[in-house]
Chain A
Amino acid sequence: MKVFIFTIFLSLSVFAQSGVVNSYLKTLNLEVLKEEPAFSGFDAKRGEVIFTSKHIGKKAKEISCVSCHGNDLSKKGENFFTGKVIEPLSPTTNIERLSNLKDMKKWLRRNFMDVYNREGTAKEKGDVVTYIMSK
């Protein structure tokens, strides 16, 4: 019985999580379509390049998203500058990820600034979120 309740709880939270992220992706998709009418949807492969490629960031040092989150998103990362442990980014391992719209927007805004030294476009944000979802 306990297992049953737990399973229901787990699937409900996963459902809630995918609800939030999917509606955010829909919003981003509409934004991209305004600029690019032939846009055919977000792509995890493009997201991977955004996530793993190195850039001169806000601190004028060469970094990537991997510098803090690591290569394996199911594992904990570590802030490159402060050493603070970062919980796994993979929504499969860490159910809290991609579950809160406000937090998602906040981190995408900040982290694009830190790694790319500019805001991310709607397309880039959608691609990178799609990549994280695939992990």
Chain B
Amino acid sequence: MKKLILISLLVAGSLYAGIFDSREKRGVAPATDEFYIKECASCHFAYQPGLLPERSWVKLMGNLKDHFETDASLEREDNKKILKYLVDNSAEKFTNYKRSKKINKSIRSDEAPIAVTDTRYFIKEHRGIRKDLITQKEVKSLANCKACHTTAEKGLYGERDINIPNYGRWDD
């Protein structure tokens, strides 16, 4: 009897967790892998794996010797380790996150952009921002998420958390 109660509790619990999980979440899942953060975020923002689909990560990690015109090459085994993390957590696996879902939907199946800034959803969301606000030294480029999205490291890119240097809050 005890066993039966326990099993029912477990089943109910997992059903409840399932319902809870299927609710759409804000942003993208945060980047948590320490090795990924150490290796990739020493040069740039730790882009969350959920910002691009698997095929994009595979393509990007296949050419680190020429990574946005920079040499970001890694030892083979380290490359494999990071690629696994990116692929395991790529956008199409996290469609319960609003931004992952929207980015993924905006990419055609025959495309594999290696920059989130090249995806249609990203371009649409960032049009209308004055060019000089993007190129100013505090920002440098649209790839510098953290410069304006104050909660980017948590995977949250909502409008209420935007603060553009020398401009302030952003209202569409």
Specify the chain A residue showing the minimal Cβ separation from B71. Answer: A113
Is B71's CB under 8 angstroms from A83's CB?
Answer: no
Task: Find chain B residues with CB under 8 A from A127 CB.
Answer: none
Contact bitstring B67-86, A, C-beta under 8 A = 1, else 0: 00111111100000000000
Q: Is there a chain B Cβ closer than 8 Å to A109's Cβ? A: yes
Q: Is there a chain B Cβ closer than 8 Å to A106's Cβ? A: yes
Question: What is the bound-complex CA distance between A21 and B74, given in angstroms?
Answer: 20
Q: Is there a chain A Cβ closer than 8 Å to B41's Cβ? A: yes
Specify the chain B residue showing the minimal Cβ separation from A59. Answer: B69
Q: Is there a chain A Cβ closer than 8 Å to B44's Cβ? A: yes
Main DSSP-derived SS at the B contact region: loop
Q: Is there a chain B Cβ closer than 8 Å to A102's Cβ? A: yes
Is B144's CB under 8 angstroms from A82's CB?
Answer: yes
Count: A-B pairs, CB below 8 Å: 45
User: Which of under 10, 10 to 19, 20 to 34, or 35 or more describes the interface residues of A?
Assistant: 10 to 19
Task: Find chain B residues with CB under 8 A from A58 CB.
Answer: 66, 69-71
Is A59's CB under 8 angstroms from B70's CB?
Answer: yes
Question: What is the bound-complex CA distance between A114 and B43, given in angstroms?
Answer: 13
Is A109's CB under 8 angstroms from B69's CB?
Answer: no
Task: Find chain B residues with CB under 8 A from A106 CB.
Answer: 73-75
Task: Find chain B residues with CB under 8 A from A4 CB.
Answer: none
Task: Find chain B residues with CB under 8 A from A110 CB.
Answer: 70-73
Is B70's CB under 8 angstroms from A109's CB?
Answer: no
Specify the chain B residue showing the minimal Cβ separation from A60. Answer: B69
Question: What is the bound-complex CA distance between A110 and B73, given in angstroms?
Answer: 7
Task: Find chain B residues with CB under 8 A from A60 CB.
Answer: 69
Interface residues of B (CB under 8 A from A): 41-45, 65-66, 69-75, 137-141, 143-144, 147
Interface residues of A (CB under 8 A from B): 58-60, 79, 81-84, 86, 102, 106, 109-111, 113-114
Provide a sorted-by-A list of 10 A–B residue pairs whose CB atoms are within 8 angstroms.
Answer: A58-B69, A82-B45, A82-B141, A83-B144, A109-B71, A110-B71, A110-B72, A111-B71, A113-B71, A114-B70
